[in-house]
C-alpha cells in the first residue's frame, strides 16, 4: 500500500518518529550515533542496523534541532 510522507507522519508516533527531510522519517530513539563525512554528508547509525544511512546537510541540521544539539 502506497502512502504519502504526510500520511506516514500521521500514523507513526510523533514523539519517536520525526521527519528530517522531504523523503526521510527517522526513529529518534533508534539512533545510535552520527559520523561526519563532509560538509554535505553525515552518516547516521541505528541500533541493530549494520549499514549507516547517509543524510545530507539539511537533514542533519533538522536532526540536530530535534535532538536539541544544534
Residue range 13-61, pLDDT digits in tens: 989 999 999 999 999 999 999 999 999 999 999 999 999 999 999 999 9
Q: Is the pLDDT of residue 70 over 70?
A: no
Sorted by sequence, the CB contacts under 8 Å of residue 35 that are 6+ apart come out as: 42, 43, 45, 52
36: closest CA among 51, 62, 57, 58?
Answer: 57
Amino acid at each position: 500500500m502506497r502512502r504519502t510522507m504526510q500520511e506516514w507522519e500521521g500514523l507513526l508516533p510523533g514523539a519517536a518518529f520525526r521527519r528530517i527531510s522531504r523523503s526521510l522519517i527517522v526513529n529518534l530513539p533508534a539512533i545510535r550515533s552520527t559520523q561526519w563525512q563532509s560538509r554535505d554528508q553525515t552518516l547516521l547509525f541505528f541500533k541493530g542496523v549494520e549499514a549507516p544511512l547517509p543524510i545530507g546537510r539539511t537533514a542533519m541540521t533538522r536532526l540536530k534541532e530535534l535532538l536539541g544539539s544544534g
